[in-house]
């Protein structure tokens, strides 16, 4: 059971005059997996960025709670792990150096046992000292999971989580989603059926567009 909860209260988002979604509300109070689906350009990435505090809604409010106490925006990054194809890694650093650097940015201890576990889990341990510029796109995507999970987040947000992954990479991701969702909240934004099959509930963004 998670101590974390999320309230999305009547949010809408415009880019200029273009409406992305309107009057979207939902609440998550328990661990598990929530899906966000929609065609390309429907606003999946926009919604998860708003939930993560990266972007702001045009109207409405997002409330993050830990043990029923509201989390201020400045502290939100301590509780969230975020994975997406557009996140940037440092190409001139190794995987190990990237994770060590990110730990310093987050202000957390570099837990070598946890990091080693995650690199093993995502099939990267043999390449941990290689520069990121030598990695394939799939390897970079798997490394982003290690970055997102290294601080034991309560809310894990995955935008197109299996992008660029082969079968082994997808299997590793699906296994970790199953593990994390037992105690934490996981949100998956995707239009891949195999990704959405993991979700207990699903928000279809076409339901929040003007008719």
β-pairing, 155-159 vs 185-189, is parallel
Contact 79, 154 (CB under 8 A): yes
Q: What sign results for the dihedral spanned by CA atoms 10, 33, 142, 163?
A: negative
Q: So what's the pLDDT on residue 85?
A: 87
Question: At 151, is the pLDDT very low, low, confident or very high (cuts 50, 70, 90)?
Answer: very high
pTM: 0.94
Q: So what's the pLDDT on residue 107?
A: 86
Q: So what's the pLDDT on residue 106?
A: 84
pLDDT at residue 154 tops 90: yes
Q: Which residues pair with 131 in a beta bridge?
A: 94
pLDDT at residue 1 tops 80: no
User: Which residue ranges form the domains of the chain, and what is each CATH number?
Assistant: 4-208 (3.40.50.300)
Three-state secondary structure string covering 34-58 = EEEECCCCCCHHHHHHHHCCCCCCC
Comparing CA positions, the residue from 194, 189, 191 lying closest to residue 169 is 194
Q: How many CB atoms lie within 10 A of CB 210?
A: 7
Question: At 203, is the pLDDT very low, low, confident or very high (cuts 50, 70, 90)?
Answer: very high
Contact 120, 113 (CB under 8 A): no
């Amino acid at each position: 059971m998670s101590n974390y909860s999320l309230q999305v209260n009547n949010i809408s988002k415009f880019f200029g005059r273009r409406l992305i979604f309107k009057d979207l509300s939902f609440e998550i109070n328990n661990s598990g997996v929530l899906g966000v689906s929609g065609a390309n350009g429907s606003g999946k990435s926009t919604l998860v960025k708003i939930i993560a505090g990266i972007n702001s809604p045009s109207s409405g409010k997002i409330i993050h709670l830990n043990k029923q106490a509201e989390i201020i925006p400045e502290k939100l990054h301590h509780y969230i792990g975020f994975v997406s194809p557009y996140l940037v890694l440092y190409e001139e650093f190794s995987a190990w150096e990237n994770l060590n650097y990110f730990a310093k940015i987050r202000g957390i201890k570099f837990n070598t046992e946890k990091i080693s576990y995650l690199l093993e889990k995502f099939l990267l341990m043999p390449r941990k000292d290689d520069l990121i510029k030598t990695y394939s796109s799939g390897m970079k995507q798997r490394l982003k999971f290690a970055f997102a999970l290294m601080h034991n987040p309560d809310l894990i947000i995955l935008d197109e989580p299996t992008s660029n992954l082969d079968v082994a990479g997808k299997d590793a991701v699906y296994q970790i989603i199953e593990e994390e969702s037992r105690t934490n909240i996981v949100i998956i934004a995707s239009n891949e059926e195999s990704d959405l099959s993991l979700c207990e509930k699903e928000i279809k963004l076409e339901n929040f567009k003007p008719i």
